[in-house]
Every structure is written in structure tokens, then in C-alpha cells.
């Protein structure tokens, strides 16, 4: 899968590194001083890297946990944080903010999982209860067969019930749900979208049908499942597709088996948007007219209000209003 694996000198001594070297014997291995020497190089070709990504194994230092950004949903949890064991993703969504955040599409995997756990313990000590998004800058479930991070953190989450972890995914990989028992404090948050949107903007991701099958597998095993309709696109051609889509989703998935629903429109910090606009110069998504409020690019408020009202009218037929979180 990876033609080249870059490895920081100090990353060799970690279990994940040894496992990967054993697994990817045909990849070229390049030893590096620090992951940023490779990852932060100027003028990288993100399109080529997306098609043929290299893997960079690194030891994370400095800050391990970050406060949840305003463009992300907290689901009413006061202590909302996120962390990133992986930087970048095997999928290639046209709207992905990572393209504006990182100078490279290569994948950085941090190997020092025990240090993340120490940072989480410290945070829990000061905050008591924490909502932690662990799969914002990647898709951990899609990466599970390469590095099973959820396996490495499972016992930690099981023994720290005050840390409510959310794993966001578009993946159809069911291995984790089959191999592990559900935990009350572990939420699997599936992002679902109409197939028209998947084909248009979510390259290399599973179809709606495959994602729904994964949702069913997770709920059948008793996992706490969140459904995310996010990002929603205010595209006039898509209005009917969304309405059919919501009905379809909840005729396939028992609404009673779902923890809650997240709903949000396409939005992005202005500086990320400007960077991606240059990289994806042929993208129609970035050529459209948007509205800037504060530091965020999105749609005009009246447009979002109208569409949201229509969509919520449908969603509330299936899910109680207080279980639908909108941004
Ligand atoms: S699945 Fe998420 S992290 Fe991965 S490319 Fe798509 S938007 Fe980005």
C-alpha cells in the first residue's frame, strides 16, 4: 500500500513501527530526523500524494490534546477536545479541511500511544469529564487494518468511563464491531450522505449502502451509534435527493437504535478555503459563491435556515428533536 515508509530515528523502538516493518516488507524505508522535515516540505503535490501516499511514522511531542474548534459540534458537552493519532486520511473528500490545514497528503502515524494515554489521564484529572473526538483529522476505522489504534486504546477507554470518545467514520470496515464489545463511553459516529454527494465529493469512500450495512452491524452488536449528516450542501440540484435520502436512511436503520444525530452545513475556516481553492483549481465546489461570517466560509444564513427547516421536518419524524444536534 505504501511505496515509501519514512521513519523518525526515535520511532524505531516502538511496537507499531516494528509491526509495520514486518507487514510492509516491500516498502522502501527511509530514516528521517523529524516528521516535519518530510511532511512540511514546500510545494508538495497533494494530488499525487493522495493517489500514492507515503506513510510517516513519528513520535508525537508537545501538545497531544486540543480544545474542540467552533466549526465542530460539541453535542452539548462542556469539555470538548480532540486528538489526532493520525494526520491525513485514506479517503479523498473534495471538501476535506485537511487539504487546507496540512502541506502534504502523506499520512503521519504517531507511534507513542502510551504518551497519548498519559495526556488523556492528565486532562481527565483537571476536567473530570471529557468529550474527546479521536477521528477528526483522519478516519481511524478505515485505517484499522493498517494500524488498529482503537485496539490500542480500547482498554484505556474501558477503564476511563469519564472520557466519552467519538470515532467519526465513513468506513464500511466492520472488523472492530465484530472483534470488540461495545463500551458505553465509545460512540461510533457514521457520516452518511446521498449517493449523489458521495460520487461527487467523497472519492474512495464506501457507498451509502455499505455504510448503512456498517451502521447496522455496529448497532446489532450494541455499539452506541451517532449518525452525522455533515456536511450538508445547499445545492439546488440536491434538494429532492436529500429528502429521499433521509427517508431511505431511517427505513433502513431503526431510529430507536441510534444515540443521536448531528447535522451541519458545509463550512470551513477562510484561510483553509483559500489554500484549497488554489490546489483544487478545477473544483466546482470551490468555485461557487459562499458567504463569509467571521472567519468561516459557508452559505448565507437565510439559505441554511430554509433548508434546515425542511430537513429537520423530515428528520423529526424519525428522531426526537432533542436528539438532533445542529450547527
Ligand atoms: S473521511 Fe473525513 S478526514 Fe477523510 S478525507 Fe473525508 S472529510 Fe477528510
Q: Is 230 in the pocket of ligand 1 (CB under 6 A)?
A: no
Range of the domain at 185: 4-326
The protein residue with its alpha carbon nearest to ligand 1, atom 3, reads 138
275, with CB counted inside 10 A (0-12, 13-18, 19+), is middle
Cβ of 13: how many Cβ atoms within 10 Å?
11
pLDDT at 263: 98
Ligand 1 centroid, distance to 128 Cα (angstroms):
30
pLDDT at 113: 98
Reported as a single tens digit per residue, the pLDDT across 182-207 is: 999 999 999 999 999 999 999 999 99
- Give the integer Cα–Cα distance in Å for 87 and 98: 8
Ligand 1 centroid, distance to 267 Cα (angstroms):
14
**Residue whose CB lies within 8 A of the most ligand 1 atoms, among 84, 88, 93, for a mutation test:** 93
Tally the domains of the chain.
1
Q: Cβ contacts of residue 72 below 8 Å, gap of 6+?
A: 80, 82, 133, 136, 327
- Give the integer Cα–Cα distance in Å for 106 and 28: 15
**Residue whose CB lies within 8 A of the most ligand 1 atoms, among 94, 96, 134, for a mutation test:** 96
Q: Which three cell numbers stand for residue 251?
A: 427505513
> For residues 298 and 290, is the Cβ–Cβ distance under 8 A?
yes
- Give the integer Cα–Cα distance in Å for 87 and 138: 6
Q: Is 89 in the pocket of ligand 1 (CB under 6 A)?
A: yes
Give me the residues of the chain with pLDDT under 50, please: none
* Residue 254's CATH number: 3.80.30.30
pLDDT at 281: 85
- Give the integer Cα–Cα distance in Å for 83 and 66: 6
Task: Give backbone dihedrals phi and psi of 101, rounded to 5 degrees, phi first.
Answer: -95, -35
Reported as a single tens digit per residue, the pLDDT across 2-19 is: 999 999 999 999 999 999
Amino acid at each position: 500500500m505504501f511505496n515509501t515508509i519514512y521513519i523518525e530515528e526515535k520511532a524505531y523502538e516502538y511496537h507499531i513501527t516494528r509491526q509495520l516493518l514486518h507487514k510492509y516488507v516491500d516498502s522502501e524505508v527511509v530514516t528521517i530526523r523529524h516528521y516535519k522535515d518530510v511532511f512540511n516540505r514546500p510545494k508538495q503535490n497533494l494530488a499525487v500524494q493522495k493517489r500514492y501516499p507515503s506513510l510517516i511514522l513519528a513520535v508525537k511531542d508537545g501538545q497531544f490534546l486540543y480544545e474542540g474548534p467552533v466549526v465542530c459540534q460539541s453535542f452539548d458537552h462542556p469539555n470538548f477536545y480532540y486528538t489526532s493519532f493520525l494526520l491525513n486520511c485514506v479517503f479523498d473528500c473534495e471538501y476535506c479541511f485537511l487539504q487546507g490545514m496540512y502541506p502534504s497528503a502523506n499520512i503521519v502515524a504517531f507511534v507513542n500511544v502510551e504518551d497519548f494515554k498519559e495526556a488523556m489521564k492528565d486532562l481527565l484529572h483537571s476536567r473530570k469529564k471529557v468529550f474527546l473526538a479521536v477521528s477528526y483529522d483522519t478516519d481511524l476505522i478505515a485505517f484499522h487494518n493498517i494500524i488498529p489504534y482503537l485496539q490500542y486504546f480500547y482498554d484505556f477507554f474501558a477503564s476511563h468511563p469519564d472520557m466519552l470518545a467519538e470515532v467519526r467514520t465513513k468506513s464500511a470496515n466492520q472488523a472492530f464491531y465484530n472483534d470488540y464489545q461495545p463500551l458505553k463511553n465509545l460512540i461510533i459516529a457514521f457520516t452518511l450522505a446521498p449517493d449523489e454527494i458521495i460520487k461527487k465529493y467523497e472519492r474512495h469512500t464506501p457507498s451509502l449502502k455499505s455504510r448503512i450495512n456498517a451502521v447496522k452491524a455496529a448497532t446489532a452488536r450494541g455499539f452506541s451509534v451517532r449518525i452525522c449528516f455533515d456536511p450538508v450542501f445547499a445545492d439546488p440540484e440536491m434538494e429532492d435527493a436529500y429528502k429521499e435520502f433521509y427517508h431511505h436512511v431511517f427505513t433502513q436503520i431503526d431510529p430507536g437504535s441510534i444515540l443521536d444525530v448531528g447535522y451541519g452545513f458545509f463550512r470551513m475556516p477562510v484561510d483553509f478555503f483559500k489554500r484549497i481553492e488554489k490546489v483544487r483549481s478545477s473544483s466546482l465546489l470551490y468555485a461557487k459563491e459562499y458567504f463569509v461570517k467571521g472567519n468561516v466560509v459557508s452559505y448565507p444564513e437565510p439559505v441554511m435556515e430554509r433548508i434546515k427547516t425542511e430537513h429537520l421536518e423530515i428528520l423529526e419524524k424519525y428522531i426526537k428533536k432533542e436528539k438532533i444536534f445542529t450547527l
